[in-house]
Amino acid sequence: MAEENKSYGIAWFLAGLGVGALVGILYAPKSGRETRDDLLTGARESTDYLRARTKQAAEEVSALVDKSKEQVGEYVDRGREAVDRGRAQWEEFVERGKNLVTEQSTRVSAAVDAGRQAYRASTEPTETKEY
């Protein structure tokens, strides 16, 4: 209900505004020709103003787009740097892992060989020397 009253109020306001403008034009102290010239001049000035504001808005939007592109480029560069750092760290970790595995496998092989030799030494018949 309140919404209906608002829409009726706005409609009546606009109707009153139109009637007031019409009455103002009809009872203006200027002649019809002068009034028409004033209206045309006002329309031209409004058109020029709108063109200037549109051009200014377009320039501002263009500047914002350029700035946004620059910022996105910076973010992309930062992202690439982070990925490259991560990749370098990953490669370093993989290399360390490979080295560790190689070192451990060498140690295990050495321990197995030492164990074999110890086993062989303990299972070989000992030579008895007769005196």
62 occurs within a structural domain: yes
Q: Categorize the per-residue pLDDT at 49 as very low, low, confident or very high, splitting at 50, 70 and 90.
A: very high
Q: What is the maximum span of the chain, computed from C-alpha positions, in angstroms?
A: 155
- Alpha-carbon distance 26 to 35, whole Å? 10
Note the pLDDT of residue 130: 59
24 occurs within a structural domain: no
Task: Report the run of H or E that residue 1 belongs to, with start and end.
Answer: none
Closest CA to 122 of 110, 107, 114, 109: 114
Task: Look up residue 80 and give its two tokens.
Answer: 């690439």
3 state SS of 13: helix
Q: Which residue range is the domain that position 42 belongs to?
A: 30-122
* Mean pLDDT value across residues 70-80: 95
pTM of the predicted model as reported, rounded to 2 decimal places: 0.43
Say if CB 35 and CB 25 are below 8 A apart.
yes
- Alpha-carbon distance 72 to 22, whole Å? 54
* Domain tally, the chain: 1
* Mean pLDDT value across residues 19-35: 76
User: Concatenated DSSP letters for 83-95?
Assistant: HHHHHHHHHHHHH
Note the pLDDT of residue 34: 81
3 occurs within a structural domain: no
74 occurs within a structural domain: yes
Task: Look up residue 100 and give its two tokens.
Answer: 């560790």
